[in-house]
């Protein structure tokens, strides 16, 4: 009965994450130095880091809580516009960043309220409408956002009075991606993660076991939107230009695709998804007409052929192999 006594340990899987995390952190921090000779490639890597952060936040909501928020990019946009506005008004970027991210969190928690009533596909549809409205709001309130023209020449933030170099900001982005993954890992292995997974699997049963489904869904939205917001705040000065199209539904879909393609509900799947898909739009820049077609095809392939994504695919295969043994053993035990 030693197996049963271990029940209290909530994270038998935690041991397996140390090495990949160390490798990921090493690669993330080494990349800006390795690519420092090629500003373009370093830039692609930096954008990928932001997408790793975003994908981790989307993973918390989609992979672990079972909610597919297609207004994710809109939340990033709320933070981005706010940070750009505040820094233009003289705020320090490092003060504007938490304020903007918090605004995105609060907006995300409020915009996530329909998820308390709508399940699965219906919430996704609702979030699509919310995303559309947010994009329209970015266009409409042109006094704050400069409308469709967008805001350009956003400077890189300074630190201690001197503007950050490209390399220094790349390291900031790497740090944010690593911290994002670490936070997700901590959440997943905590009792909060256990509650969110229970809500994903069967929210009615979760409630029956005493889990406050409404409260924890809102907590998930708050944290997931925080990831969106921090990513949005870091994105604006890095690209140097934001417009409503920077945070439209296609961006939400891309982030979702990174999670779904990589493997929702796994820590590393969405990281792999972001690493594979974020640079794609740069590589395909000259073929931008086929880019959206390619994304569309990839979405169909993921839904039809690999619902568990790359990481989930391996997991499923292992399970399928194990299943017949399980069933045979149980039949024996019943007799």
Angle at 146 between CA 144 and CA 236, to 5 degrees: 85
Q: In this structure, are residues 295 and 253 in contact, taking their beta carbons and an 8 Å threshold?
A: yes
Sign of CA dihedral 270, 200, 188, 230: positive
Q: In this structure, are residues 279 and 327 in contact, taking their beta carbons and an 8 Å threshold?
A: no
Contacts of 26 (CB under 8 A, 6+ apart): none
For the chain, state the CA radius of gyration: 21
Q: In this structure, are residues 197 and 72 in contact, taking their beta carbons and an 8 Å threshold?
A: no
Contacts of 239 (CB under 8 A, 6+ apart): 47, 154, 246
The nearest distance, CB 63 to other proteins, in angstroms, is: 12
The nearest distance, CB 271 to other proteins, in angstroms, is: 22
Contacts of 197 (CB under 8 A, 6+ apart): 64, 188, 265
- The residue among 89 and 321 lying less far from other proteins, judged by its C-beta, is 321
Q: Binders of other proteins among 285-324, rule CB under 8 A?
A: 319, 323
The nearest distance, CB 218 to other proteins, in angstroms, is: 14
The nearest distance, CB 212 to other proteins, in angstroms, is: 5
Q: Is 319 buried (19+), middle (13-18) or exposed (0-12) by CB count in 10 A?
A: exposed
Angle at 214 between CA 212 and CA 219, to 5 degrees: 95
> Which one of residues 160, 210, 305, 321 is an interface residue with other proteins (CB under 8 A)?
210
Contacts of 227 (CB under 8 A, 6+ apart): 53, 54, 56, 57, 58, 60, 180
Q: Does 92 bind other proteins (CB under 8 A)?
A: no
- The residue among 292 and 326 lying less far from other proteins, judged by its C-beta, is 326
Q: Binders of other proteins among 242-261, rule CB under 8 A?
A: none
Q: Does 117 bind other proteins (CB under 8 A)?
A: no
> Which one of residues 5, 304, 305, 321 is an interface residue with other proteins (CB under 8 A)?
5
> Which one of residues 106, 213, 250, 280 is an interface residue with other proteins (CB under 8 A)?
213
The nearest distance, CB 270 to other proteins, in angstroms, is: 18
Residue 162: φ, ψ to 5°: -110, 135
- The residue among 10 and 18 lying less far from other proteins, judged by its C-beta, is 10
> Which one of residues 3, 162, 285, 289 is an interface residue with other proteins (CB under 8 A)?
3
Contacts of 137 (CB under 8 A, 6+ apart): none
Q: Does 44 bind other proteins (CB under 8 A)?
A: no
Q: Does 15 bind other proteins (CB under 8 A)?
A: no
Q: Does 205 bind other proteins (CB under 8 A)?
A: yes
- For residue 69 the two structure tokens come to 């928020």
> Which one of residues 95, 283, 294, 327 is an interface residue with other proteins (CB under 8 A)?
327
- The residue among 39 and 318 lying less far from other proteins, judged by its C-beta, is 318
Q: Does 1 bind other proteins (CB under 8 A)?
A: yes
- The residue among 14 and 212 lying less far from other proteins, judged by its C-beta, is 212
- The residue among 117 and 331 lying less far from other proteins, judged by its C-beta, is 331
Here's the x/- map for other proteins, 168-197, by CB under 8 A: it reads as: -----------------------x--xx-x
- The residue among 209 and 305 lying less far from other proteins, judged by its C-beta, is 209
Give the whole-angstrom CA distance, residue 170 versus residue 284: 22
Residues of this chain that interact with other proteins (CB under 8 A) are 1, 3-8, 10, 191, 194-195, 197-198, 201-202, 204-214, 319, 323, 326-327, 329-331, 333-334
């Amino acid at each position: 009965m030693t197996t049963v006594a271990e029940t209290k340990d909530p994270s038998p899987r935690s041991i397996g994450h140390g090495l990949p995390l160390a490798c990921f952190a090493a690669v993330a921090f080494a990349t800006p130095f390795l690519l420092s000779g090629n500003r373009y490639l370093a830039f692609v890597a930096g954008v990928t880091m932001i997408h790793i952060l975003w994908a981790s936040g989307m993973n918390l909501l989609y992979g672990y809580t079972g909610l597919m928020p297609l207004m994710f990019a809109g939340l990033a946009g709320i933070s981005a516009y706010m940070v750009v506005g505040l820094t233009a008004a003289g705020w320090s970027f490092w003060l504007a960043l938490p304020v903007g991210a918090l605004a995105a969190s609060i907006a995300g928690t409020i915009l996530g309220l329909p998820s308390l009533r709508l399940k699965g596909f219906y919430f996704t549809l609702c979030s699509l409408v919310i995303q559309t409205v947010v994009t329209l709001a970015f266009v409409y309130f042109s006094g704050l956002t400069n409308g469709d023209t967008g805001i350009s020449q956003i400077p890189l933030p300074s630190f201690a009075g001197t503007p950050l170099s490209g390399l220094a900001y790349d390291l900031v982005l790497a740090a944010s991606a690593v911290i994002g993954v670490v936070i997700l890992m901590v959440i997943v292995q905590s009792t909060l993660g256990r509650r969110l997974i229970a809500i994903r699997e069967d929210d009615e049963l979760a409630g029956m076991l005493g889990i406050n489904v409404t409260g924890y869904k809102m907590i998930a939205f708050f944290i997931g939107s925080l990831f969106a917001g921090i990513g949005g705040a870091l994105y604006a000065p890095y690209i140097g230009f934001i417009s409503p199209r920077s945070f439209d539904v296609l961006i939400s879909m891309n982030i979702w695709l990174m999670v779904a393609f990589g493997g929702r509900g796994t820590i590393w799947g969405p990281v792999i998804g972001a690493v594979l898909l974020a640079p794609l739009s740069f590589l395909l820049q000259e073929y931008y007409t086929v880019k959206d077609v390619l994304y569309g095809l990839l979405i169909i392939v993921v839904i039809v052929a690999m619902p568990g994504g790359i990481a989930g695919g391996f997991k499923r295969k292992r399970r399928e192999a194990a299943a017949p043994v399980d069933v045979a053993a149980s039949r024996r035990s019943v007799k």
